[in-house]
Amino acid sequence: MKKVLIHTHFHKRKTGVTRSVENVLPFFVDEFETYVYGSNIDGIQISTSKLKKLLFSSDVKTIVHCHRNNELMRMLFYRLLGAKFLLVATRHAETKPSKLTLFLLKKADKVITLIKSMSNNLGIDNTIVGHGVKVHEFVPNPAKKLPKISQKNIILNAGRIRKAKGQLVLLEAAKILVNHKNWALVLVGKIDKPEFSEELKAIVKKHQLEKQVYFIDETREIISYFQAAKIVVAPSFSEGFSLVTAEAMSCECSVIATKNVGVHSEIITNNKNGYLFEAGNVAELETLLSKSIEGEIPHLGKEARVEILQNWSAKKEAESLMEIYKA
């Protein structure tokens, strides 16, 4: 019997969820006829007519893997009409799910979560499968330089720019850069609200860092930024997983991240392959940045990449997903 795997993606833009799906798709093609259904995602697209034909066929074993409520609702509608397929759902948020989300997840045949806290918060049976990194693409390149950034040394923050991601804390801690003119702070990501942008820029001005802080819009060329960075800071108050942290570690960046947020405390062993600090603690982050810049604590990039290669590759994630699809 032919086996088909379809990942859905109903979203107007590419996100971390998008990248996590794209990372694992190549590992399924030997076992499944593999498609993506939706938009703004790389992969072999399947039309609605072909999707329906597969879902209602008795000669095909079809697995549909959904990542958002709107995707689950569409697939459950087809099931209501008589379609027969295995429905897998991944919960990507760490927060307690809404009643609607919980209702939809209970309708799935198998539910996946990303980290232990997310699994515990969900309240229904689930399997933990953490995201994986394309370790053959996210590789170190110390010679990489960024255009239009004159400083030799870069501290990087990547991902959505919003209060929950902790950029306010990072900018306050970055005031030490005024005494280190060969260091720059680069923030890469989409700023959610214009007023938050103004708040960030006010801190930059307050600490006289206008020539050392750069705001870059979100980009699919994020690897270059990781490769050019010496330090990556993940100061989030909350995360679903925090794939960018794993990707930074794969590029041998020395990572400073908030403890017990997302996967940070599972992927980072403090002082062994990275550094952890309490979310919101400006003084603690400032001390870690200062010591790292001054060389008072070691750069742990090589140790970080070893951790990713051993435990957090996209291949390893795909193998775990394959076990769920086949069970």
3-state secondary structure of 92: coil
Q: Reply yes or no on whether the pLDDT at 95 is more than 90.
A: no
Domain-located, residue 143: no
The CATH code of the domain that includes 235 is: 3.40.50.2000
Range of the domain at 34: 2-132+312-326
Q: CA-CA distance, 233 to 271, in Å (whole number)?
A: 15
The pLDDT value given to residue 121: 87
The pLDDT value given to residue 293: 97
Pair 118, 170 in one domain: no
Domain-located, residue 139: no
Q: CA-CA distance, 167 to 237, in Å (whole number)?
A: 10
Q: Reply yes or no on whether the pLDDT at 144 is more than 90.
A: yes
Pair 265, 319 in one domain: no
Percentage of the chain lying above the pLDDT 90 cut: 92
Domain-located, residue 144: no
Pair 302, 157 in one domain: yes
The pLDDT value given to residue 155: 98
Instruction: Give the count of domains, the chain.
Output: 2
Q: CA-CA distance, 73 to 293, in Å (whole number)?
A: 50
Q: CA-CA distance, 242 to 255, in Å (whole number)?
A: 12
Tens of pLDDT, residues 244-294: 999 999 999 999 999 999 999 999 999 999 999 999 999 999 999 999 999
Instruction: Tell me the mean pLDDT in the region 88-98.
Output: 92
Pair 251, 274 in one domain: yes
Domain-located, residue 145: no
The pLDDT value given to residue 135: 97
Q: Reply yes or no on whether the pLDDT at 148 is more than 90.
A: no
Pair 269, 184 in one domain: yes
Pair 170, 285 in one domain: yes
Task: Band the pLDDT of 220: cuts 50, 70, 90.
Answer: confident
With a CB cutoff of 8 Å and minimum separation 6, the contacts of 268 are 245, 249, 255, 257, 274, 275, 276, 304, 307
The pLDDT value given to residue 186: 98
Pair 285, 176 in one domain: yes
Pair 198, 294 in one domain: yes
Tens of pLDDT, residues 1-32: 899 999 999 999 888 899 999 999 999 999 99
